[in-house]
Amino acid sequence: MKPPPFAYHAPRTLGEALDALAADPSAKVLAGGQSLIPLLNMRLAAPSALVDINRVAELDTLRVGADGVRAGALARHARVERSDEAAAVQPLLRSALRHVAHPAVRNRGTVVGSLAHADPAAEMPAVLALLGGTVEAASAAGRRTVAAGAFFRGPMEPALEPGEIAVSAFFPAVPPRTGTAFAETARRHGDYALAGVAALVTLDAGLRVAAARAAYLGVAATPLVLDLTGPAGPDGDWAAAAAHVRERIDPEGDVHAGADYRRHLTGVLTGRALRTAAARALPAAGE
């Protein structure tokens, strides 16, 4: 199908982009277009205008520091996935991005666009939620920082107001003695997951479990973060943690998988991801 008619703006600076958005409350930002263009073509979205940010060079950034990774609004999935610097500071990004669609989609789709799209089946929202990251939003009125916990209001409902552009997202670095892991099951590689989990385990000086956390995709309306430190206990009883998760979640069934299967799958993926994260938290020999 063809999209409904819309005006098209191709600003070259962030200021011009914000002005174009401020002038039209029902305009939409176009980033990678990997979600928005299909929605337009299926006429599930009918914005009056598109503000294409692809020429705004100041948004095409990927900054890696000791404290974490900041992806600008034009950092494509593939750029973040391939960055060795980003993987060294926060390896969960690369682990999760490998599950996002196919390389062709990752070459064009953006990490920030995925957050702004707020699909509960997407990987990046769960990663941001698990790590307690932030999204920086800009409008003609100024800038603000939104914590991951407040950013995902509902399915496809980010905490962005009309006139705002998500200019970057910050993923905090992996803390010391901490490992992360990502696991999901999809019907075919590259499909959206039936269920998925991002996990983080921190060990104490005696190598006992000090913290265990997991964030889920595909099982709730927004990324669901569960603290599993108590259920796992200091020795890392991952089966008990998985059983706890199965009781806590209330997934929906659909044509691809029933609710009971999704619950079971989520438990299995939880055990797997926590075990891997704990192994990665162990200090390397000689440390």
Ligand X SMILES: Cc1cc2nc3c(=O)[nH]c(=O)nc-3n(C[C@H](O)[C@H](O)[C@H](O)COP(=O)(O)OP(=O)(O)OC[C@H]3O[C@@H](n4cnc5c(N)ncnc54)[C@H](O)[C@@H]3O)c2cc1C
Task: Name the site residues for ligand X (rule: CB under 6 A).
Answer: 28-36, 73, 100-101, 105, 109-110, 112-114, 116-117, 122-124, 160, 165-166, 192
Sheet holding 195-203, edge to edge: 178-185, 195-203, 209-217, 224-227
Residue (of 185, 183, 186) closest to 197 by Cα position: 183
Name the residue nearer to ligand X (CB basis): 169 or 278: 169
Using DSSP's 3-state secondary structure scheme, residue 18 falls into helix
Name the residue nearer to ligand X (CB basis): 124 or 226: 124
156 Ramachandran zone, left/alpha/beta (phi>0; psi -120 to 50): left
CB of 232 to ligand X, least distance (A): 27
Distance CA 77, CA 98 (A): 9
Distance CA 19, CA 24 (A): 9
CB of 225 to ligand X, least distance (A): 17
Q: Which two tokens stand for residue 164?
A: 């705002």
Name the residue nearer to ligand X (CB basis): 76 or 244: 76
246 Ramachandran zone, left/alpha/beta (phi>0; psi -120 to 50): alpha
Q: Which two tokens stand for residue 81?
A: 């996935």
Name the residue nearer to ligand X (CB basis): 44 or 66: 44
Name the residue nearer to ligand X (CB basis): 32 or 267: 32
- Are 50 and 30 within 8 A, CB to CB? yes
CB of 60 to ligand X, least distance (A): 12
Name the residue nearer to ligand X (CB basis): 223 or 236: 223
Beta pairing, strands 165-172 & 68-72: antiparallel
Residue 178: strand pairing partners:
202
CB of 51 to ligand X, least distance (A): 8
Name the residue nearer to ligand X (CB basis): 6 or 261: 6
CB of 39 to ligand X, least distance (A): 7
CB of 235 to ligand X, least distance (A): 34
123 CB contacts (<8 Å, ≥6 apart)? 96, 97, 99, 100, 114, 182, 184, 193, 196, 198, 217
- Are 202 and 178 within 8 A, CB to CB? yes
CB of 283 to ligand X, least distance (A): 33
Q: How far is CA 144 from CA 6, 126, 231, in A?
A: 29, 21, 36
Name the residue nearer to ligand X (CB basis): 170 or 238: 170
153 HSE (CA, 13 A, CB side): 8
The closest residue (CB) to ligand X is: 109
CB of 174 to ligand X, least distance (A): 21
